[in-house]
Structure 1
């Protein structure tokens, strides 16, 4: 896909984005998206991409129906849990002690109107200081994205004033102008500085590191200073090693869905990630960096969850 393949409205929005992130990043992402739409197997990344093989989705639904699990699995998708997570961070400035981030990941908002209704009901009224979204706004990995943006517009009033996001492997870069028009800043290998009580922390975000691999930690960390307490948003936990050595104190991610369809006890069958299975869900630590992998709000491939309920997470930052 090239810029010339986009509508005039898309071209105008992407031209503004190009001025910010650079011509190379934009053209690379658009080109890879064009290749991505036609491939289930892609050399050089994960060998197999179940998310892209849509002919098998019906087979999975059929197997679950025969096993008597499809109906229960669909109901589980609407059973969105609230998780609370205290995060002790060395170097966190005193004014940020207790600062709370509402973390939503893998929203797949065009799944159904009923799902969006339940997600709104779950986040409505939750007290938080800022909101972060770690990608996958769309259910499919390609095709129309307007329904996902329309659903995000319904959700947006319930996320608070300050919202930041990164893209996932289900998202197209053509969504960025529409997302930002809703008052959500998409961090494309960029960072912002959050101020509170005369102190600051850094919030950085990278582009998709799973399929498109257009992430750039050097650019995302370019404005970090010695002594900064920095938080990284990444759709996937896969670049955890590089992030840990780039000066980040905390990494928030998703992508794995915690397995989505799990064995009893929450043991994932598949996580579609190169990261260790210990990083597939919940809190973890690598060297001095803490991390948290959300199991996600929505569902992908099939609209079913088993032994792995969806979640929204409140991360409360604490001085270590």
Structure 2
């Protein structure tokens, strides 16, 4: 009898210890992941891109704020913010002050659903559903003051890549092209059409789900410049469109890398229709006769209603684009 009781007690103790580790330790073990991709012309200088995603800031997260500020010491050539900066409506000032050193650098951004809508408690079993989980909100949801966040980023000089195309001059590297969409997870994405030789667009070029323009990009895209795709959630329809166009690099977030992973197995879910094997890290995506490099950031935060991580530490990524072999 004593042995039969000790087994479930041992399981309970292990589960409690695992939960304590996930909530109290790993969620604060920030790391920088590094990747290299040979994409540039043979004579080009390496280009260092810092990708931030899924910060999910809550007021008072001093350790996270200090770590994010320290990333400016890397002196990247470009910052790409792939959204979900917020997990509390009062955290906007802390996001802006935390990212201020990085906002002094060239950058681009898109917003995520948690930037637009206030975080709420959800049934965790919903995350186990496979397939395309994107949909517009089915009921009225309280919104964050996302225009203030958007305005702070654009005032600092970051390009808002919401459903648009733009070109950005990066000192020492020349022009880079960007194609971005609003968050596909809440069906705000409107893929920006290619412009013809006269500058005309063949489709809907709205910049956000409200139909408001957030400000034009820095300049028209250059035919001879590298193009980077930017999206918050890596839904296959967006990846297919960008890859079919021939965009060689796509940056995304949203998945949290699975957030609660099984060691030696990986993510259980991606919270979108991307397969689990590509829940985080550098992979490829093929469509329309082209293949793109796809980097999905596991992000550095969590929803304030699920502040745990297991076998998936919070992260940012430094992606170095290298010259191709001649």
TM-score by length of 1: 0.70
1:230 corresponds in structure 2 to 227
Structure 1 Cα separation of the partners of residues 232 and 86 of structure 2: 13
Of 48, 64, 74, which residue of structure 2 is paired with 1:116? 64
Q: Is the 8 A contact 2:51 2:319 kept in 1?
A: yes
Cα offsets for 1:11-68 (capped at 9, x unmatched) = xxxxxxxxxxxxxxxxxxxxxxxxxxxxxxxxxxxxxxxxxxxxxxxxxxxx999633
Q: What TM-score do the two structures reach when normalised by structure 2?
A: 0.69
1:207 match: 182
Query: Taking structure 1 as reference, are residues 253 and 96 closer, same or farther at Cα in structure 2, changes over 3 Å only?
Result: farther
Q: Secondary structure at the residue paired with 1:170?
A: helix
Segments of 5+ residues of structure 2 without an aligned counterpart are 1-11, 117-145, 202-219
- CA displacement at 1:157 relative to structure 2: 1.4
Equivalent positions of 1:48-67 (< 5 A) are: 67=16
For residues 74 and 250 of structure 2, the distance between their equivalents in structure 1, rounded to whole angstroms, comes to: 22
Residues in 2 aligned to 1:305 and 1:215: alpha-carbon distance in whole angstroms: 32
Q: In the alignment, which residue of structure 1 is the partner of 2:300?
A: 297
Corresponding residue number in structure 1 for 2:314: 310
Distance in 2 (CA, whole Å) between partners of 1:280 and 1:73 is 19
Tell me the alpha carbon deviations over residues 145-177 of structure 1, each in whole angstroms, 9 at most, x when there is no partner: x42343332222145421211011211253422
Question: In the comparison of the two structures, how many residue pairs are matched?
Answer: 252
From the two aligned structures, give the one with the greater helix fraction.
1
Larger radius of gyration: 2
Distance change >3 Å, CA 226–CA 220, structure 1 → 2: closer
Q: Work out the CA distance in 1 between the residues paired with 2:99 and 2:315.
A: 15
- Give me the whole-angstrom Cα distance separating, in 2, the residues matched to 1:291 and 1:219: 21
Report the secondary structure of 1:171's partner residue.
helix
Instruction: Find the partner of 2:18 among 69, 81, 85.
Output: 69
Which residue pairs with 1:58 in the alignment?
A: none
Alignment gaps of 5+ in structure 1: 1-62
Q: Structure 1 residues 70 and 121, CA, compared in 2 at 3 Å: closer, same or farther? A: farther
